[in-house]
Amino acid sequence: MNNPVKMWQDEHARFSRLLDFLDAQMLAFHEGGHPNYELMRDIIHYLKHYADCYHHPREDVAFALLLDREPDLAPVIKRLMHEHRVINIAGDTLYNYLDDILEDTVISREKVETAAATYLVYYRAHIESEDSRVLPAAARLMTPGDWAKVAAAVPPHADPLFGSDVGARYRDLHTQIKREQEFNS
C-alpha cells in the first residue's frame, strides 16, 4: 500500500507548485505585464474542484481522528478546519475577479491584488502548518483503520490535472506544468 502520509505531502507539493505559478502571474499583473488569466482561473478552478472537494474533506476526517488521539493539537486543528472554509470563500472571490477580467468587466487592480494575496498567503501558511504540525502527528498516531476512514470520506476520484487522465479543462495548464518541469530539470 502507498504511504498515505507521503501521498498527502506529495499532494501539498503539487498544490504549492500551482500557488507558485499563480504568484508569478500576479507579479506580472502587478508590474503591468501580461499574465495568463485563463491559466490562473484554471488553477483556482482545480483547487476549488479537487482540493476543496476531495483533499480537504479527507483532511477533516483525519483531523477529527487526531483530535481524539492528541487533544494538544486542538488549537492548530481547529484553525486548519476553519481555514478550509476561508480558502474556499477566498477562492470563489478570486475566481470571480478573474472571470470579470476575462469578460472585460472593469475591476480595480487593488481588488484583484488583495484577493490574490489573501488566497496565496492563507493557502501557503495552511499547507505549511499541515506539513509541519499535522503530518508528523498523523504518521505517529494514525492506524491503518484510521487511514481507511480517511479514504472513505469521499468517493475515490482521480486527480484531473496531475493524474494519468487529464481533464479537458486542464489540458493547457497541464502542458504549462510539463513545460516548466522540463525547463527546470
Cβ 58 to Fe ion shortest distance, Å:
9
Cell of residue 78, nine digits = 481547529
Q: Give 87 or 116: the residue with its C-beta nearer to Fe ion.
A: 87
Least Å distance, CB 114 to Fe ion, is: 22
- Widest CA span in the chain: 53
Q: Would you list the DSSP string of 126-164?
A: HHHHIIIIIHHHHHHH--HHHHHHHHTTS-----TTTSS
Residue pair 89/123 in contact by the 8 Å Cβ criterion: no
d(CA 118, CA 151) in angstroms, rounded, equals 30
Q: What minimum distance in Å lies between the beta carbon of 143 and Fe ion?
A: 20
Pick 51 or 173: Cβ nearer Fe ion: 51
Residue pair 79/86 in contact by the 8 Å Cβ criterion: no
- Site of interaction with Fe ion (CB under 5 A): 59, 130
Q: How far is the CB of 101 from Fe ion (least distance, A)?
A: 28
Cβ neighbours for 76, distance < 8 A, ≥ 6 positions apart: 129, 133, 134
If the CB atoms of residues 130 and 146 are measured against Fe ion, the closer one turns out to be: 130
Nearer to Fe ion, 42 or 59 (CB): 59
The least distance separating Fe ion from the CB of residue 177, rounded to whole angstroms, comes to 19
- 59 versus 146: smaller Cβ distance to Fe ion: 59
Which residue has 470520506 as its cell numbers?
153
